[in-house]
Amino acid sequence: MARDRKKRLPGKKWILFVAFRFLRSRRKERKIRPSFFSILGLAVGVMTLLSVLAVMNGFQLGFIEDILEIGSYHIRIYQQEDEDQTALLTLLRGMPEVEAAVPFLDVQTMIEGPFSGMVGCNIRALPEDTPAIDPGWARQMDLDDAFVTDGERDLIKPGSVWIGSVLAQNLGITTGDSVSFLSMAGDSFRGLEPTKVEYTVSLIFSSGYYEYDSALAFVAHDSISAIASGKEKINIGVKLKNRWRDRQFIEELSETGKLLPGTEVVSWRQYNRSFFGALRMEKLAMMLVIGIVFIVVGANMKHSLERTVWEKKEEIGLLRSVGAHPRDIRLIFLLDGALIGSIGGGIGTALGLLIAENINGIFSLTEKIVNAVIAFSERLLMPFFQVRGETFSLFSSTYFYLQEIPSRVMYHEVLIVFLFALAASLLSAWVSSGRVADFDPAEIMRYE
């Protein structure tokens, strides 16, 4: 054992030196090394995955925030008995985890403009000072840019209604116009008769979420009695400072003993389970599809490293003959895999973040270039043909309900993608270097 140790090369610095030498090509070799294509493929895969994830996060988080801030709240409290909610609201608003507690009532009805037919609409009754007590709702509704009458964006006044921009467009109305809601009035079921209740449009909002902008309206609590049947119960919506602590909050609320018998407390996870579950599956499926790129790149990297092992057979035999252990030589190729993964993953991460942060600028530049080519083609062909090209747009507002492509980078996902790329490189290097131990240095030096 002592004699074998003396034959080995001293130190480990030579391993890193040889790994760099194996990775790069010699100046006399004009051909491109296989490692270049491995780095390029890995960089493209990481860049694509990060760009797609950023855009998908932008869309999904936009939907989630709209739903939680405007529609579902973080916590919903349903009371079965008609009791005064003042005490419960005071308790909720005094809890340190609560950002806002708002009583609300939803009513499904029909709405009609002065020159339009009736369309379905969901009316939500809220306190008049909702913009003040629920800043998250006001922020998501983008009230600062809403169309208002006489600057009334801070209060939902009785007799007035706030409606979505798409709904207003479908009805052909603007602020100051009157709309009619359909109400069923009567002493019994057989005696119900439809009646119309008029409201004045005081604000037109645009949340960016089509379902709300096209079928949602807000009125004050004092105004809903003319439309509601009287059997609906007012519920309480709670916004938390940290929505991920919903389970702990429900436990703390139950321990207070202030909830009446039959009261149901539902978190945003339960209320939106099907929709959020679909978003999660969509994202997972997209990651798996794009993740196939890593499988292809990993297979390509394995074959390129196996080729490198075969090309470097003479050098491997020489290193073995001067005392290098097979484990050390295998470590050389593992370092090559780590370098390929680090360089390719680093370049791909940088490009992916650059694209994600400037996706709208890239699309705008692409549209300008394509439109310039179309305009040039028109002028070139106009003397011979009656050609009239249309303006090119990647995401036209005519077909897509958005002003720009949302993009959000989640840095823990960036780290996961980079580590996955590095792991794929190391695994490929480990598998491809398995034949190193089978090389006989004496046979290599004799025949090579």
Cα-Cα-Cα-Cα dihedral of 101, 107, 112, 118, to 10°? 140
d(CA 63, CA 128): 26
Characterise 328 by phi-psi region: left (phi > 0), alpha (psi -120 to 50), beta (else).
alpha
Checking if the pLDDT of 16 tops 80, the result is no
Checking if the pLDDT of 122 tops 60, the result is yes
Lowest mean pLDDT among 163-167, 315-319, 367-371: 315-319
Give the pairing type, strands 160-164 and 118-126.
unpaired
Q: Which pLDDT value is given to residue 389?
A: 61
Lowest mean pLDDT among 28-32, 239-243, 332-336: 28-32
* Percentage of the chain lying above the pLDDT 70 cut: 80
Q: What is the DSSP letter of 68?
A: I
In three-state secondary structure terms, 322 is coil
In 86-126, where do the E strands start and end?
98-112, 118-126
Q: Which pLDDT value is given to residue 286?
A: 82
Average pLDDT over residues 391-405: 75
Q: Which pLDDT value is given to residue 380?
A: 76
pLDDT digits (tens, 9 = 90+) for 189-198: 565 667 788 8
Alpha-carbon distances of 139 from 62, 124, 130, 136, 208, rounded to whole Å? 13, 18, 12, 5, 12
d(CA 66, CA 73): 10
For residues 19 and 236, the model is more confident at 236
Give the pairing type, strands 193-205 and 178-185.
antiparallel
Q: Which pLDDT value is given to residue 1?
A: 42
Q: Which pLDDT value is given to residue 323?
A: 67
Residue 65 near residue 239 (C-beta atoms within 8 A): no
Lowest mean pLDDT among 39-53, 165-179, 432-446: 432-446
Average pLDDT, the chain: 81
Checking if the pLDDT of 375 tops 70, the result is yes
d(CA 235, CA 246): 17
And the tokens for 371?
Answer: 């439109």
The neighbouring-strand residues paired with 103 are 236
Give the pairing type, strands 160-164 and 193-205.
parallel
Q: Which pLDDT value is given to residue 2?
A: 44
Q: How confident is the model at residue 387 (pLDDT cuts 50, 70, 90)?
A: low
pLDDT digits (tens, 9 = 90+) for 273-298: 888 888 889 888 887 887 787 788 78
Q: Which pLDDT value is given to residue 358?
A: 92
Q: How confident is the model at residue 151 (pLDDT cuts 50, 70, 90)?
A: low
Q: What is the DSSP letter of 312?
A: T
d(CA 218, CA 10): 79
Checking if the pLDDT of 250 tops 60, the result is yes
Asked whether the whole model's pTM tops 0.85, one would answer: no
Checking if the pLDDT of 218 tops 90, the result is yes
For residues 429 and 14, the model is more confident at 429
108 burial type by CB count under 10 A (0-12 exposed, 13-18 middle, 19+ buried) = exposed
For residues 442 and 66, the model is more confident at 66
Q: Which amino acid, residue 346?
A: G
And the tokens for 351?
Answer: 């490009």
Residue with tokens 């006044």: 157
Q: What count of other Cβ atoms lies within 10 Å of the Cβ of residue 6?
A: 9
Q: Which pLDDT value is given to residue 379?
A: 77
Checking if the pLDDT of 310 tops 50, the result is yes
DSSP for 141-162, written as a single string: TTGGGSEESTT--S---TTEEE
Average pLDDT over residues 118-147: 86
Checking if the pLDDT of 180 tops 50, the result is yes
Average pLDDT over residues 389-414: 80
Q: Which amino acid, residue 152?
A: E
Lowest mean pLDDT among 79-83, 355-359, 426-430: 79-83
Checking if the pLDDT of 3 tops 50, the result is no
> Angle at which helices 273-311 and 411-432 pack, to 10 degrees?
30
Q: Which pLDDT value is given to residue 124?
A: 92
CA 186, 184, 173 angle in degrees (round to 5)? 145
Q: Which amino acid, residue 242?
A: N
Residue 436 near residue 316 (C-beta atoms within 8 A): yes
Q: What count of other Cβ atoms lies within 10 Å of the Cβ of residue 447?
A: 8
Q: Which pLDDT value is given to residue 241?
A: 92
For residues 212 and 18, the model is more confident at 212
Residue 66 near residue 268 (C-beta atoms within 8 A): no
The neighbouring-strand residues paired with 122 are 108, 216
